[in-house]
Homo-oligomer: A and B are copies of this chain.
Amino acid sequence: MDDLKPILIADDHSLIRKGLRQVLEAQSAITVIEAEDGNEAIRLIRKHKPSIALLDVEMPKMTGFDVANRVLAEGLPVSLVFLTMFKDEQIFNKAMDIGVKGYVLKENTIAEIQQCIRTVSEGKYYLSPTISDFLIRRNSKLAAPAADSQGINLLTPMERNVMKLVAAMKSNSEIAGELNISIKTVQNHRNNICSKLGLHGAHALLKFATEYISRL
C-alpha cells in the first residue's frame, strides 16, 4: 500500500511526460508514474492503482480511448483525464459518453492541468473552458426529451404524494409511516400508479419517479 496514490501520465512523447512530471512533483506532494503507450498504461493502472490517469488520446498502438474502454471493462478504480491536441466535438462527446472526468486541450497551460487534477481529485468534472460550447450543445440535446410524461396528469393527489416518497427511495413501510396509512394501501397506490402509467417490472416505478419528480 502506498502512502498516497500516484498519478499516471500516459503519452508517447517523452518531453511532455518529463515536463508534466517535473511541474507536478515540484509544486505538490504528488507521485507521478509514466507510461509511454496504452499497454503500459493499463499494466501500471492495474499494479499501482493511481487515483487519476492522464491519457493522451493520440497514442500509437493503443489510444486513450482503448485504455479507457479497458479500464471500464475491468472496473479499475481510476478517474480518467483525456489530454488531446484536437478540438473535435465528436471525440469530446465520445469521451463524455465513456465517462471521463476531465478533458484538457494541450493548447492550454500547465496551470490548467494542475487545476484539472485538483478538481477531479475532489470527484468533480473538469473540462477545458475552450470546449464549453460542446458541453452546452450536448446538454441541450440531452435535456430535450421531456415528453411522454402526460400520464402524470392522470394521478390523484394521494398518488402524487406516494410517488414523491417513492422517488426519495423510501420503502413501502416508510411511506406508510409518513402518510399514516397501512402498507397495503401504499401497495395499492403503487399498483394503481403503475397501471395508469403503463409501468411494469422491478424498479419501473422508482425509475419513472426519480426521472419525473420535478413535474410532481
Contact = CB atoms under 8 A, between A and B. Distances in A.
Interface string A63-83: 000000000001111000000
Contacts of A152: 77
A24 B102 CA distance: 46
Contacts of A157: 74-77
A196 interface: no
Contacts of A215: 123
Interface string A179-216: 00000000000000000000001110011001000111
Nearest to A101: B214
Interface string A132-161: 000000000000001001001101111111
A149 B122 CA distance: 12
A164 B124 CA distance: 17
A195 to B, nearest CB: 19
Contacts of A169: 203, 206-207, 210
Contacts of A164: 75
Interface string A114-136: 00000000111000000000000
A14 interface: no
A93 interface: no
A108 interface: no
Q: Identify whether the interface residues of A are mostly helix, strand, loop, or mixed.
A: loop
A22 interface: no
Contacts of A75: 156-161, 164
A103 to B, nearest CB: 15
Nearest to A211: B169
Contacts of A202: 171
Given A75-B159, A169-B206, A170-B203, 8 more contacts: A76-B157, A77-B153, A77-B155, A77-B216, A169-B207, A169-B210, A171-B201, A171-B203
9 nearest interchain CB pairs?
A75-B157, A171-B202, A75-B161, A75-B160, A169-B203, A169-B207, A123-B215, A74-B157, A123-B214
